Amino acid sequence: MNCRVVVEAAVPVYDVETQDEAVRIAISKTGEMLNPDLNYVEINMGERSCPHCGEELEPAFLAADESLVALELEITVFNVEREEHAARIARKEIGQRLENIPLDVLVIEQIDDEDEDETDEDESDEEVSSTDESESPSDETDGGQDESSGDRDDGDDVLPEFEELIDES
């Protein structure tokens, strides 16, 4: 079973003047912490509301040039047994990179098998096209092997700036 998990993160941001600036910095800061290991995690502004009246609030709370920003991090977890298992994996993977940032699981959705089948078909199409593309470089590599054995084509595979170096040796 595959699941889409949305985790809320409370990201602290310092030396900011506006809520918009705080949100931009928080998204950037979170992206830097997650990349390159978790570059597939989607980062979105969080949604906050007043607990008493239900009114929508900005995702950033600003006080004394410091802010606490609510962000939603979305990750897809594959081959899990239960939704709780998916939540634990998501919290662990994201939490390892976002040290000292509290996380709370908001949504766990099971992904339909139809979506998986479409994804598998897309991936197989991509594999076929990448296989076609990979045949061209292997032909060039064969040419490179011929050059090392002494049969030289004088430059089709060699960059012009390196031709002089090769001719000198």
pTM of the model: 0.63
Give the range among 20-24, 31-35, 130-134, 151-155 with minimum mean pLDDT.
Answer: 130-134
For residues 6 and 73, the answer to whether their CB atoms sit within 8 Å is: yes
115-127 pLDDT, tens digit per residue, is: 544 555 444 444 4
37-74 pLDDT, tens digit per residue, is: 888 899 998 888 888 888 888 889 999 999 999 999 99
DSSP state of 5: E
Q: How many residues does the chain have?
A: 169
Rounded to whole angstroms, how far apart are CA atoms 45 and 55? 17
